[in-house]
Amino acid sequence: MNIIDELTWRGAVNQQTDAEGLKKLVSSRPISLYCGVDPTGDSMHIGHLIPFMMMKRFELADHHPYILIGGATGSIGDPSGRKSERQLQTMETVQHNVAALSAQMQKLFGGADHISFVNNYDWLSKISLLEFLRDYGKLFNINTMLAKDIVASRLDVGISFTEFAYQILQSVDFLTLHRKYNVQLQIGGADQWGNITSGIDLIHKVAGADAEVYGLTIPLMLKADGTKFGKTAGGAIWLDEKKTSPYEFYQFWLNQDDRDVIKYLKYFTFLDQTEITEIERQLKTHPENRLAQRRLAEEVTRFVHGEDALKSAQRITDILFAGNIGSLSATEVQAAFGKAPSVEITSTPSDIVTLLVTTEIEPSKRQAREDVTNGAITVNGVRITDVDQVIDPHDKFDGQFVIIRRGKKKYFLAHVQD
């Protein structure tokens, strides 16, 4: 299947500057293409992952992707999707984020034979102010720049020259990569359309109108309920395991709505059309098995965190489902309950009622006794019904944690302090 046909089947194509020309080009020979990410933070979240999954698909189809880390553009900020100016980061912070994102990209894609990594700081930092104005600024029409959606949406509240000029810098990126590596395609999110077309215009002005360069954007991903994909009540789902543990990452995918799961299988996995079609058939006939969700969680967790992390996430899931919390290791407890409400307790043994009240899990001794007597309290997976039961914090999890559950779902992670 032609790579463009595959992306279309996967629902991954929003706009193209020349659909017929691009399809003809990628069908005739391997090409070089690029996608960039600015280091606004020290980790990507799953929303960032979408265009880079497309890059990996191009690589698997024998094309040569270039992944660009915006060490320069990230220091000024893209105005896209914002109603106010970005707070500029220090250059030290930018460089820290560049290193973190570069390591993350290398982990995800560094083993590929035909994926290269570049940093636009390497060329943009060498352009003087006069060169910027004479060699590039002269080629951009203010009226055209103002008409771009990313700029027009900010005119009512105002936009600084710094963010206004962002599209020029990104255009220079495309031109530089085209000159140096014969990059012919830029991929980006739907909000990058204006920047991508500016880059194509610049290349045509510098290299000639017959230069074969193209742009492709992916759709904005929304869930079936119309809300933005990738966010939860606890915030973004990060690719950094220190921000979102592999278990939490796995659970995010495992809990996807039936209405969304096939779309996500197409976007975020490398399963082929035949296998996804079969999974979709089983989803329709036996949705209670949640095969689609399990395959989605397995494939994406394995891709981002590796096989060992996937097995650990599955083990924690199985243990919690069986209610055998005491079988978890201390590390697994941290992974599974790291986002649960946290309390601190001393290492001194205490009766259950005192423990519940001093941690403010229960508002009073009367309520604590009532909940214990009614069987609403479990400690480390064991139901406690005796109000005089003594809890020793050293019993489980290397003496580091005590897991308290009130009711069916309300968990508290007690950190044991020496």
Q: Which residues are annotated as a binding site?
A: 34, 166, 170, 231
Which residues make beta-bridge pairs with 404?
379, 412
Q: Compute how many other C-beta atoms are within 10 angstroms of the C-beta atom of residue 393.
A: 23
Per-residue buried b or exposed e for 8-37, using 16+ beta carbons within 10 Å of the residue's own CB: eebebbeebbeeeebbebbeeeebbbbbbb
Judge contact between 216 and 35, C-beta under 8 A. Answer: no
Contact between 134 and 44 (Cβ < 8 Å): no
- Mark the binding-site residues for L-tyrosine, compressed into ranges: 34, 166, 170
Q: 137: Cβ–Cβ under 8 A, 6 or more apart, which residues?
A: 168
**DSSP-assigned states of every residue in 369-413:** HHHHHTT-EEETTEEE--TT-EE-TTSSGGGSEEEEEETTTEEEE
How many beta carbons lie within 10 A of that of residue 59, not counting itself?
A: 18
- Is residue 68 helix, strand or coil? strand
Cα(first)–Cα(last) distance of the chain, in Å?
62
- Centroid of chain to Cα 364: 42
Which residue in this structure is represented by tokens 């979102």? 244
The annotated binding site for ATP is made up of: 231
**Distance from C-alpha of 198 to C-alpha of 188, rounded to nearest angstrom:** 13
